[in-house]
Structure 1
């Protein structure tokens, strides 16, 4: 079933052979029309039409070949993690990590490995605390207990700093 898709840059201009946001420029047959219990459509509009006014953006990065028109999917653009088909937001991990006095800041990302994704958690420790195997085990067990085994990051690493956008 054909869909009118393009790859757009941050300014809403179509791009080829470079990473951009996958957008649907025309309605498509399986397109949701609303969310349950969202009578004013605020959540629906925010979810799909807030990146580019009036244009469906699903939350995926892609690259479209100028030569073949083929599309390569590059992963989520909206912070959604998808290890082994289990979708959850990085905010779920942050809500847990913020409970640790040892942690000053953190960054949770997905890394593509073949056709799957693994979750990597970078932790910046507060002064006076030590990052070690015991701490990593404590974090993993707490995430497992508060969320599920599928939410536990595959890798937890210490970092000296977390990049921020200004």
Structure 2
């Protein structure tokens, strides 16, 4: 909807079909005179860790950067402002493919607060609800719900004759109210913070925690390129498994495990420290850059990959293979892989 909408303003849309390497997209922005750059939080974080300098030897005309796919950490806001200039408008958006739009996003006339989405989108009545279907106090975390219809909200899914798929996807918790599956809190400034998927929430001793805080802490470590965490049920208590994609020269040894635990404890809390850390070659993401936390959890619990996720929406389907292998191992009674084992497609 955003891409179609800008055509009505007679603006030009630049699309790139290829591998979005750290330098190439900035080159295209310079070559095409791009003024509004839409990208993902994962790309911005990767550019930060790779030490890329977008403005070096490039004539960039970027006035605004929009980020989506996953929460953009405060460090990402700061990095963009430092590299592109303090007057560059940096905004993060949250929405859904099935509604073809954003629920919360950027507003050019409002101030930008680090780590926050600026305001609900026009026409989107967004609230944070508790388990009983009541709005939570300002600043508390709750389920992201839409309490009124949107113009682009679907009435049916293709091939869903009885409406069960649509109901189970969005209306199974609060009757008649769209529950999107994100964990959100609203701030005194009128903005919002997305804390990750509510159905991927980590439960440690009865305390629910979002995953975005954990990812922000992990990606400050130079050895870690990407990460995915899941909370798996276990007879002895839920186990948090952390899967990490290591930088080329890094090794998952006891020293790195110790530094991971220390960084998570310092930046988050002792409850956030994972039970196991496993190295993988890649973590699965959708074409829009979203991590597949819930499908990976279902696969690790023994569900076939074809039932857990629509493979057509994946940017890197091969990344699922090690998780399928680990799910098979768990199905035969092993709770996880031996320490230090690296699994890869």
Task: State the TM-score bracket (shorter-chain normalisation).
Answer: 0.5 to 0.7
Partner of 1:164 in structure 2? Answer: none
Structure 2 gaps of 5+ residues are 1-121, 202-227, 229-283, 303-323
Structure 1 gaps of 5+ residues are 106-122, 126-130, 145-166
Partner of 1:92 in structure 2? Answer: 299
Q: Which has the larger radius of gyration?
A: 2
CA distance in 2, matches of 1:69, 1:103: 48
**TM-aligned CA deviation for residue 99 of structure 1:** 1.4
**TM-aligned CA deviation for residue 87 of structure 1:** 4.4
Partner of 2:132 in structure 1? Answer: 11
CA distance in 2, matches of 1:98, 1:71: 35
Structure with higher RCO (Cα < 8 A, 6+ apart) = 1
**Equivalence map 1:119-138=2 (5 Å):** 123=336, 131-133=338-340, 136-137=341-342
Which one has a larger percent helix, Structure 1 or Structure 2?
A: 2
Which one has a larger percent strand, Structure 1 or Structure 2?
A: 1
Q: Alignment partner of 1:75: what SS?
A: strand
Q: Conserved in 1, the CA contact under 8 Å of 2:299 and 2:327?
A: no
For residues 124-162 of structure 1, the C-alpha deviation after alignment (integer angstroms, 9 at most, x for no partner) is x7xxxxx233xx22xx23xx2xxxxxxxxxxxxxxxxxx
Give the structure-2-normalised TM-score.
0.30
For residues 63-102 of structure 1, the C-alpha deviation after alignment (integer angstroms, 9 at most, x for no partner) is 012x232111111012397758144312134332231167
RMSD (Å), alpha carbons: 2.5
State yes or no: 1:34 paired with 2:156: yes
Match of 1:70 among 167, 174, 191: 191
